Amino acid sequence: MATIALARGWPAPELLPGDEIADCARAALERDGGTILAYGPPGGYGPLREWLAARHEVDPGRVFITNGSLQGLVFLAQVLAPGRRVLVERPTYDRPLKILRELGADIVPLDCDDDGLDPDALERALAAGDPPAFAYLLPTFQNPSGRTLTLERRRRVAELAREHDLLVLEDDPYGLVRFDGEALPLIFELSEGTTAYSSSFSKTVAPGLRVGWFVLPEETARTLEAAATATYITPVQLGQATIHEFISRGLFEPNVERVSSLLRTRRDAMIDALDRELPSARHSNPEGGYFVWAELEDGVDAADVQKRAEQAGVTFVKGADFGGPPESLRLAYSFVSPDEVAEGIARLASAVPVAA
């Protein structure tokens, strides 16, 4: 029996546009190989930087392209976080938590509910101590919860950022992967570009190309470019030029639609299976992204369930790894087929103790 990986927040192979990427890489090299194969600017491949700048309506000098967005977060954290308070959502993406911990940041978790971050918790944290280095927020289809911050709360967060001169980093790799509903304005847009933004082509094109980007205050962009130069001299321009070619050929938007439609079916399969197999669990109902967050009945420990689930042939990540409560779990529907999603949830249900 093959294990079903609901732990893996990766795109399934059929989500990756391999043939188009192969053509685009060749075309980019033929057209601009002299630039792409040489060392280049630390902030990334010029034409992609300009495209991103136009998309965000900022000067290209504020755009910083990195080898995946996580690398940029490492630079930002290295420069700003050591010994300082960093505000995060609870739960939040586990890798930044590890990075911040290792750098000796004072991590301040802020409470969230079904509508995302509670802005009152943000306000209280801002009133309570030294000014934070930054706030790391995931307002759209959050990893791990799949939740999305409401418009009203986005406005409050943008206002609080302005009032307290707080650097908000809005990490948004999933925002374009929307299946239902209307896109909400970014905090970056509501703050009129005074906050910071990061995203990635990992979920909209392919993670193996390792292309993420940041829109930062000008001075922070220069500081991070210096960190990039000291780390890898120049980011991988071939991936960036391949993405630029992909965009120039008009392949980007159709690919996002294709990916979203494949993921919608998987999300539906997961929600149906949860309602059928685990009716006692509360779960999020994401309008996009990769993840569903589930909370088992009080007193059920997801760590115990995880061991039994692995024996039953399904993996997930326990919510505690993201700072969530013991009964919570993150279920990714991105990596396996809709049938496997349904079978995975049935196996999970067999590992959950029946209430007395």
Ligand X SMILES: Cc1ncc(COP(=O)(O)O)c(C=O)c1O
What residues make contact with ligand X under the rule CB under 6 A? Answer: 9, 68-70, 93, 138, 143, 171, 173, 200, 202, 207, 212
Task: Give the shortest CB-336-to-ligand X separation in angstroms.
Answer: 16
Q: Which residue in the block uniquely carries the two structure tokens 């042939």?
A: 313
Between 8 and 162, whose beta carbon lies closer to ligand X?
Answer: 8
Q: Alpha-carbon distance 80 to 76, whole Å?
A: 6
Pair 332, 291: CB distance under 8 Å: yes
Task: Give the shortest CB-311-to-ligand X separation in angstroms.
Answer: 27
Task: Give the shortest CB-75-to-ligand X separation in angstroms.
Answer: 12
Pair 315, 6: CB distance under 8 Å: yes
Between 212 and 344, whose beta carbon lies closer to ligand X?
Answer: 212
Task: Give the shortest CB-280-to-ligand X separation in angstroms.
Answer: 28
Task: Go through 106-122 and write b for each residue having 16 or more CB atoms within 10 A of its CB, e for each that does not.
Answer: bbbebebeeebbbbebb
Torsion angles phi and psi, residue 47, rounded to 5: -60, -35
Between 62 and 330, whose beta carbon lies closer to ligand X?
Answer: 330
Between 170 and 343, whose beta carbon lies closer to ligand X?
Answer: 170
Total residues found in the chain within this entry: 356
Between 260 and 342, whose beta carbon lies closer to ligand X?
Answer: 260
Give the torsion sign (CA, 348, 93, 261, 12): negative
**In Å, how far are 26, 122, 349 from 278, measured between CA atoms?**
48, 33, 6
Cα 151 versus chain centre, distance: 19
Cα 261 versus chain centre, distance: 19
Q: Alpha-carbon distance 120 to 111, whole Å?
A: 9
H or E stretch at 198: strand 196-200
Between 143 and 328, whose beta carbon lies closer to ligand X?
Answer: 143
Between 171 and 343, whose beta carbon lies closer to ligand X?
Answer: 171
- The residue of the chain with the least Cβ separation from ligand X equals 68
Alpha helices in the chain, H assignment, sequence order: 18-36, 46-56, 69-80, 94-102, 119-128, 151-164, 187-190, 218-232, 237-248, 252-277, 302-312, 338-351
Between 46 and 72, whose beta carbon lies closer to ligand X?
Answer: 72
Between 9 and 344, whose beta carbon lies closer to ligand X?
Answer: 9
Task: Give the shortest CB-309-to-ligand X separation in angstroms.
Answer: 22
Pair 108, 85: CB distance under 8 Å: yes
Task: Give the shortest CB-174-to-ligand X separation in angstroms.
Answer: 7
Pair 142, 178: CB distance under 8 Å: no
Task: Give the shortest CB-166-to-ligand X separation in angstroms.
Answer: 20
Task: Give the shortest CB-349-to-ligand X separation in angstroms.
Answer: 26
Task: Give the shortest CB-203-to-ligand X separation in angstroms.
Answer: 8
| Ordered DSSP codes for 94-149 | HHHHHHHHHTT-EEEEEEEETTEE-HHHHHHHHHHSSPPSEEEE--SS-TTT----
